[in-house]
Amino acid sequence: MKGIIVQSFGSTYREAYKKSVGSVFEKVKADFPDYYVVESYSSEIVRKRIEARDGDHYYNIAEALKVMEDKGIKDIFVLSLYVIEGHEYNKVIKMAEDYNADGRLNIKFSKGLFSDDADIEKVGEFFSHLKDKSSAEALVFMGHGSFHDEDEKYGKLQAYLDQRGVKVFIGTVEGSIVLEDIMARLEKENIKSVEVYPLMLVAGDHVQNDMAGDEDDSWKSVLRKAGFDAGVSVKGLCEYDDFNDLFIGKLREIL
């Protein structure tokens, strides 16, 4: 038997998680019945909070690998549910390498969602289709962002959309492209109505509070205060089947 680990950041928002990353986990189990499949979270904070609150224990990557090894599974494929190959992605790989320092296991990791130009194009097309279905003049996407060099991938996605004249604008909470940058573009292009979407896999804390919350500093509130007609879509990207197919494709590449 071979094994698959569905690896993500994790989320304390359990219902949102079940509808998004949890649905990817269920799809992997259904599509690959000959593999032993488990979940793994990279956020220790998320794992500890869930265990303290709900009494449920979720594996980190080292624990998931041990479960596989205890079952005699040596060929292990990790589906990496990360937008960019930033700090979290690399932290997981390092932990797996430390666990498998002697190379006794054959571990393969899938790439992040924005791993190359072809990926950027696929995501750009997905966002373009969402724009076609919206009555708003433009869509605004809130990504997480990172201080890692991989943060530049958000800019590459924006460049792809700009080249094709798609009115979709990408910003981040902790990256180099912020909401003020987007608002400047909206004003320059005289765009009045927008719909704000998460560029995050799960509609967790950032989405519920930083994006769609009623606080003065949420993206929704800031945009509305500035005079924009701003709607919000509180739906994690992994709640879209077509989007999940992009990740499943990443898994198939390494199987």
Query: Which positions are catalytic?
Result: 144
> Pairing between strand 75-80 and 35-41?
unpaired
Which residues is 40 bridged to in the sheet?
7
> Pairing between strand 229-232 and 193-199?
parallel
Residues 6+ apart with CB under 8 A from 200: 83, 142, 143, 144, 206, 207, 236, 237
Give the three-state DSSP class for 165.
coil
Whole-number Å distance between alpha carbons of 95 and 103:
13
Give the three-state DSSP class for 222.
helix
User: CA-CA distances (angstroms) from residue 223 to 14, 64, 212, 226?
Assistant: 28, 42, 11, 5
Give the three-state DSSP class for 139.
strand
User: CA-CA distances (angstroms) from residue 89 to 43, 110, 232, 244?
Assistant: 11, 10, 28, 18
